[in-house]
Amino acid sequence: MTTQQLTATLATALHAVYPAAEAEAIAALVTEHLLGLTPLQRRMQAAAPVPTAAQVRLPEVQARLLAHEPVQYVLGTAHFADLELEVTPATLIPRPETEELVQLITRAQAGRPGARVLDVGTGSGCLAIALARALPQAQVLAVDISAEALAVVRRNAARYAPDVQVEQVDILAGWPVAVAPASLDILVSNPPYVRESERALMRENVLAWEPATALFVPDHDPLLFYRRLATVGERLLRPGGSIWLEINEALGAETAALFAGPAFAHAAVLNDFLGRPRFVRAVRR
């Protein structure tokens, strides 16, 4: 079996559960992972024989993918902001739109030396670690309610940003002990925001595999995390510090309205690269 045959064989099998283009993209990603190749190397080595060890792993990988397990969990890694992060079913799989949050914050911080950053609901640590690398003088704290997720964060941080601090916190009920009032420059979060009624719009592999506690909020109170984050930001952000949030695109105006009071200024809804309302930013007065 050659590299090209491995990719084509897997893509053909995956057509049973994925659209053709997605099946081919997943097959290419798996091939690269199994063989330790970059996308360019995979194409250049199309006729190279596949080592026996990779061929032996293929049936198990294929079976898990056909059972709708996300490829990132099958491989144990996800790409985010030029990082290859460990992910497990204890963590959400980082999305491309979340990378934009890193870019927005990095541009806003240009020319400002250092920053104290808090990432709430860190999951795999993708935001905290990417920001620590983009803002090398920053002090970054990543918090999450899940001990299992924080174990993943520690491993990812050890690889890419060893100075990132980690703390287990239920942000709805408590406060990070490592953060003093009015000391933060940046509060960032991608909290749960999918309403229970929106489950029907989501794909099977998300519903079956990704952690529900990191995704869903009740229909009767879809902004509960944002209200709490407004309170956290009011207490922990210094004057001029900013809060950056990923949001439910259907609730942009309602989310921004939580930051329209006397504690914050310049609350705005920002679009993602597809033109959808995806983020809210506000500044502590």
Tell me the CA distances in angstroms from 13 to 66, 203, 217, one per residue in order.
Answer: 8, 19, 36
Class of residue 266 by CB neighbours under 10 A (exposed 0-12, middle 13-18, buried 19+): exposed
CB-based contacts of 48: which residues, under 8 Å, 6+ apart?
Answer: 2, 3
pLDDT for 228 = 98
pLDDT for 136 = 87
pLDDT for 46 = 97
Which has the closest alpha carbon to 239: 273, 264, 266? 264
pLDDT for 204 = 82
pLDDT digits (tens, 9 = 90+) for 186-224: 999 999 999 999 998 898 888 899 999 999 999 999 999
Rounded Cα distance, 152 and 214, in Å? 15
Domain assignments of the chain as residue spans, ordered by start: 3-67, 84-284
Residue ranges in the chain modelled with pLDDT below 50: none
Angle 211-28-40 from CA coordinates, rounded to 5°: 125
Class of residue 5 by CB neighbours under 10 A (exposed 0-12, middle 13-18, buried 19+): middle
84-284 belongs to which CATH class? alpha beta
